[in-house]
Amino acid sequence: MELICYLSNGYPTIAESIVIADIYAQAGCDAIEVDFPGRNPYLESEYIAGRMARALENCGDYDAYMEGIAKIKAKQPALHFIQLLYEDTLREIGYERFLEFCEKNELRDLILVGQKDDHINKRLMKDAIRVSCYVRFELKHEEVEQAKNSNGFVYMQAKPAAGKTNEGSLKDRIAYLRRQGISRPVYCGVGIHSPEDVTMAKEAGADGIFVGSSILKLHHDHDALIRTIRDFKARC
C-alpha cells in the first residue's frame, strides 16, 4: 500500500518545499501529493488554505511553482507524484502550458478541484492525464458515476465527516466500488491521522493512503517528521 505525503508547495518558500520533499523521500514515502496554491482555495480546510495564502504572498508566479516541482521530480525520480490544483489555477497557467509541463516532467496523475463543468476533465483525459475523482464516504451516486467514467485513481474519503454517521465500513465502500467495475487504484484520505488509521485502510483494501496535516504540522521538526512518516510507512 502506497504512503502518499502531502506537500504544501511554496510554504513558506519554494526552496523550503524542495527540502521537505527530500525529507519525505528519506523517510520512505512512496508518493508525494504536491499542490499549486490556489488564489481562492474554497474547498480546503482553514489550515491548508492559510498555507496556500502564505505561499502566494511569498511568490505569486506559477511558473516558479512548476520549476520547483520539476526540481523535486528530477531529484526524486523513483517517487510517484500526484499534482493538485484548482481549475482556476490551470486556466491562469494556460492549458497548453500546463500540459507541456506535465509531459516534459512525466507527471500524469492529477487531482483537479473547483471544476465548473466536465469540459477540462474530458480534455485532460483525452490528453492522457489521469484525473482522479473524489468519492465521499456516503457514496453519492453522482460521484461514483464520475469515478466509473474517469481514468485516474479514486480518492476515497476514509471516514465520515464530523457529526455524520454512516452504516458500514471503509471496507464496505471499497468493495462496493470494485463491484461497480472500478479496477483503478483506490487511495484513501480525509481522516487518516494515525498509524492505526493506516492499518484500518490497509485492511479495508485501499491501494494507498494520503497523509496531510499530521505531517505538515511537523515541518519545523525534521527528526519528528521522519519518525512519523516511518511509523506510517511501517503500517503500509
Predicted confidence at residue 100, as pLDDT, reads 98
- 3-class secondary structure for 1-27? CEEEEEECCCCCCHHHHHHHHHHHHHH
**pTM (two decimals):** 0.95
Chain-centroid distance of CA 90 in Å reads: 16
> Domain locations in the chain?
2-235
> Is the CA virtual torsion 176, 181, 187, 190 positive or negative?
negative
Instruction: Sort residue 94 into left (φ over 0), alpha (ψ -120 to 50) or beta.
Output: left
Say if domain 2-235 classifies as CATH 2.60.120.700: no
Predicted confidence at residue 163, as pLDDT, reads 65
Residues constituting the chain: 236
Helices 14-27 and 222-235, packing angle to 10 deg: 40
Cβ neighbors of 72 (< 8 A, separation 6 or more) are 17, 18, 21, 32, 34, 81
Q: How far apart are CA 70 and CA 56, in angstroms?
A: 18
Predicted confidence at residue 86, as pLDDT, reads 97
**What's the chain's average pLDDT?**
96
Say yes or no to pLDDT of 144 above 80. Answer: yes
